[in-house]
Structure 1
Amino acid sequence: MPNVDFERIYLNQSRTNGRMRIADSGLGWKASSTGANGAQTNQPFLLPSEEILSFMWSRGSRGYELRVQTKNKGVVSLDGFDSENFAELKQELQRNFQMSLEHKEHSLRGWNWGKTDLARNELIFSINGKPSFEIPYSEINNSNLTGKNEVAVELNLETSASKAGDELVEMRFYVPGVVENETKTVTKVKNEEGEEKEHEEAEIEEISAASVFYEQLKDNANIGQVAGEAIVSFSDVLFLTPRGRYDIDMYPTSLRLRGKTYDYKIQYKQIERIFSLPKPDETHHLVVLQIDPPLRQGQTRYPFLVLQFAREEEIEVELNLSEEDYKSKYEGKLKKRYDAETHLVMSHCFKGLTERRLIAPGSFQSRFLQPGVACNLKASEGYLYPLDRCFLFVTKPTVYIPFSEVSNIVMSRTGTGVSASRTFDLEINLRSSNQSHVFGSIDREEQASIESYCVQKGLRIKNEEKVAKAMMAKALNEAADDDEDDDDADIDMGSAGEEESEEDGDFNSGSDSDPAEEFDSDASLSGSDDENMSEGGEPAKKKTKS
């Protein structure tokens, strides 16, 4: 029986098109484009006939789409058909698989109010009996109750590199109302004869419809369940961000956080950096994960996860791996068995599974021989860690500042009184924008060590206190020079003093004695008054020139 091929068909919204083939054994698809070395950019896809459940024909993003419902492989989407291909496809599918091709019209009303149907392989949102959109369960990464009547659905980013254009990453459903849930309790009671009999009581409680939808979606999409056993698990781990305690299950390609309210699945490729930092309180140890895209709880985004451990806490675990898998995949990256401090075991497991470099404290040490210093960022108290290539402030908010983005650093003292003499502020200005981070209330005794460390890393630093002291010393020196010049002028006046004494001769009394003051009691006995009096004791008349 001849095979039928269709060209320029896209598999599951892939970037590249290919050739689809229909045979009695099943469906096949192979990418038409090749790489630089002539190798196929995508592996061929084969779908055996025994896996096929049904077919559906509808409009798609690149023309018309053939959606295939399978038993164990979810939904297969083949897009890029022309309207003329419908009759040929229907005939071939009927001949090879004895299945009809159903033609479904999508709702184009644009309403956001409809009905959800949790089918075998996908979530269908319908308006007036017509599907508006479908979300395959394989594309759902996580779901959480973000409110009393709201359910958030996060979509998978695993295949984002193979898809074309922008993607939808999250969708929220508002589910109003309550649902009556009947629960039965069985108790044992004794009758009059002393025999025990079971007594069944039914209780009806009201549960929000959003909670019911959330639980059903989790069951259908297998959210919270990961194929295979976890490699290693840690229970009741304290998270400072987001606040709470979570159980951590680590799998080959992802990890799952299970809390009382929220569950999360994080792909290892989302983890960009891992920090392992001792807390300056000498009691706890921090493990910080930087992830992109960040976790979300409602409207809050968490680009950093901060885990806290007691330094003395120890754990003994053995990896759930066969000897063959361990030697082929993880030998040299992980240890088969751990018996050490919990933070060391956790850091080593993160490093081995994510294949990311573990960032530890550098050469900086405070006056208490700690890798960080206590400070404030606005109204938040925390610790600032000067590391080899960046500054890191923990815990709320966690701020990561690489040295490559630092324009300059300004050290200054603010405030008045005793606090100003004991602390200083560290302002870090960034290159890319006018943004700056001001870390305040740092112990003044840490200023010299931080300044020398910044100079060592080649950062431009300005110490405003030193500049102010230098300007004050310069001003004092200039004032002292001016005073010395004035003193010299008073001491060595030259002939100017003699000329002034001759010109002021009219004001001399004519005697060697000093003139009496105005309010002196002996003013009448002064020599100048004797000359101006006549012999009779009366004042002499003043002679005038005619």
Structure 2
Amino acid sequence: MAEPTSQFGRIRLGARGPTSEGVFKVTSNGLQWKKTGGGRHVEIPSNDIDSLRWTKVGRHCQLAVKRLQNPAVAFLGFRDQDLEPISEMCTSYLTKSVTTRPMAPEGRNWGEALLDGTRLDYVSVDERIVFSVNLPDVVQAQLAGNKNDVQLEFQNDDTGGGHNLDSLCDMSIHVPPTHPGYEGQDDVSAAKAFLDTIMAKTDAGAVTSADAIVTFNEVAVSAPRGRFDVEMHASFLKLCGQSQEFRVAYSSISRLFILPKTSQPHTLVAISLDPPIRKGQTYYQHILCQFHTDEELEIEMDMSDELFESKNSQCNGKLQRKIQGPAADVFSRAVRGLAAAKISRTGNFRAADTLSLAIKCSYKADLGHLYPLERAFFYVVKPPLLITHEEIECVEFQRQGKDSLAVAKTFDFMIRTKNDQEYQFRNIQKIEWANLFEWAQAKSLRIDNISEAQEGPGGPAGIALDPDEEGSDEDEDFRMASGDDDDGEPSEDDSEDGSDVASDDLSGGDSDGGGGVSAPKPAKRKPKADKPAKAAVKEPPAKKAKKAKKDKNAPKKAMSAFMMFSNKNRESVKEKNPEATFGEMGKLIGAKWKEMSDSEKEPYNEMAAEDKVRYQEEMKAYSAKKAAAEEDDD
């Protein structure tokens, strides 16, 4: 029986900085919120929920969750009619009732400051909520000059707010000396007693460099660019440079990535942020810290036993007081322990040189490297980009110069996300085509132009014969193993007896002459002596037609019998020949197909015929639906 759930879309997570929309769910295990398009993910188990409060805030409603072991969380963007189903689900699955609390429609400056866990509620005289403050957001608290006011300073970073949005920086709370809840004892004023209570709920004491838990000096940072001293405090880390300073709350750190650089003795540690930090109008979604690969460090966490136990429980016991090892590893483990963030490392992808973990390419006008990770692509350096697999709608391998006789030595790799955003990585060496193609298939990424991608960077000119025809040594599935030259034609240095010259193909082996026959070159026409030559008039080059965007709803094309055979036997051939290159694999499968009799090929022919009928039926329905939609538009 499926687990009952209740789902609500376009819900925002209450936090400082820009708010992102996501999906909110109520399940029997607790509450879940996941950012739309991937990224930040919040899970509140049922045994960590203390109370639930519903409040009308402006045009929408808010659900505040008080937790037993962690700071309170608020979810915004609900409708009035969502209260009833949420109350029923919480009562049924979480055995928690949802209480309603009205919000004061007018501003008041006198009331009661109530501490409810890690939340400070300011309640008016008629017991309506004026505002709520999440105490972990307080970075500094102190008494004012009159000794009766408590000043609270909030994180003002740098965590990027939306354009033209105001952000709360500080507030002052007046505590009467005769307040019954905080009456002073032993010469301690009521305001000081209130301040001590606030300090116990926050990490506001650690606000100076001397109070930092650990400091990394002179760290080279690529984004934002500069050299910074990285101070790690109890609730935030601080980047201190000569001319700029950034403060990043641990709650905004979503994940860490360790990325060894290609052909350089350096390692990048990428800190992914949600929301990002900003300086002026520049937003930084990722902080890139660079360390020398051979540099060794040893640090010791300067923190109390109580704080250490609290942080260690949040990161599942991965925090250590003493950490030693490579500098990049020590830094990332320190951030992981204090921020309770996960670390992602590079997987088993290797470039064509078998050593590099990334592919050299360019994005827009900047040269960088694309790291294919286990669940994402990460591009560095400018700008850093993280594209998770769950965000990707499809990928596409694009040849350069495919409409001309000459085939370029590079190709483009395009990633299209589910929200129709495209990322095009250009000038990738064609020798990387095979590894990237295999990687995309292994990760079950949908390749939009699968037929063209299987042909390889040389395109259909690389092999002109069908695998069933006489004289073909290669198979249709791996046409990129062709031995033709870069221009798609046999080399002019080929001898008459059919011997070929080694070509710059993807497999790196010798060509076998399996390509198409080149057309004879036309003879040069000599100008006539009795007529003067006319001046050549150069016509403007015709504009290249923009490639039509493929409809992702169109039916998948039918597969041939050989394609059916190739897909079924590819893994078994690879197991028997683990050292075979991509092009060699194509030759092995093609040779195996040629050796089969007609009776052995019959099952694959039947499968291809069935797939062809499937495609025709789906295409007929698709065309009818498309025509009906166009008539409606007219």
The structure with the larger Rg is 1
The two structures have a TM-score, normalised by structure 2, of 0.43
The two structures have a TM-score, normalised by structure 1, of 0.49
